Amino acid sequence: MFKSAARSKSLDKTDARFVDVIHTNINYFGLSKPIGSADFYPYNGKTQPGCSFPKNIIQKCSHSMSHKYFTESILNPWSFVATPCGVVKEYRGRDSCNGTDVIFMGEHTST
């Protein structure tokens, strides 16, 4: 959902029993704050691999990756290993997280 969307029109964890959010374009077309039951930030939620110059195309490309990642998670359930880490701004790589738990991003998220 876009930053400018009214609160009543924005995706929210109360929209379903479980809301899985994949943030792929924070600070441009997407939100940085957690809004789902589980929030994932591939590549810190910023520019995604395969998305390059010019800048306006980078942002559209990165934003569109969230549904591609989710589709891939259906086709290949164990493709996206994630580490529960708390606040995305504090994430500095997998070693910065306390604990060794892993979950899978997408359709088969277990939280």
pLDDT at 26: 85
| For residue 111, pLDDT beyond 70 | no
- pLDDT grade for 35, boundaries at 50, 70 and 90: very high
pTM for the full predicted model:
0.78
Task: Give the chain's radius of gyration (CA, Å).
Answer: 14
DSSP codes joined into one string, 88-109: GGG--SGGGSSS---EE-STT-
Which residue ranges make up each domain of the chain? 7-104
Beta strands in the chain, from DSSP E residues, in sequence order? 20-22, 38-40, 81-82, 103-104
Check whether 49 has a pLDDT greater than 70: yes
Question: Quick one: pLDDT band at residue 109, thresholds 50, 70, 90?
Answer: confident
Q: Which two tokens stand for residue 65?
A: 């990756």
Residue 50 has which token pair? 């395969």
pLDDT tens digits, residue range 77-92? 888 988 777 665 555 5
